[in-house]
Amino acid sequence: MAYRVTVDTDACEGIFACLTRDPRFVEDGDGLATVDADEGSVRREDGRVVAEFDDARIDRARQAAAACPPGAISVEEL
């Protein structure tokens, strides 16, 4: 299944609840959550990290998004 994961770096507070739900989320150099560039197509645009995947791990991404206290992560099917 193809899907997009977006991290709003302006909204991220560096709580890292996402890291415990999905290992593709990692801490960046600014102490905020990002998506590991080795895991898929990852780009930065307008204060966001956008990653696209085509695999069966969408549930992990959704769990990470649901665990994010400030709601900085979104997941959408493509």
Cα separation of 29 and 16, whole Å?
14
Q: CATH number of the domain that 49 lies in?
A: 3.30.70.20
The count of structural domains within the chain is 1
**Count of CA atoms in the C-beta half-sphere (13 A) of 50:** 9
Q: What is the pLDDT of residues 35-50, one digit of tens each?
A: 999 998 999 999 999 9
Residue 59: strand, helix, or coil: helix
Domain residues for the domain of 70 are 2-77
Distance from chain centroid for Cα 60: 10
Q: What is the pLDDT of residues 49-73, one digit of tens each?
A: 999 999 999 999 999 999 999 999 9
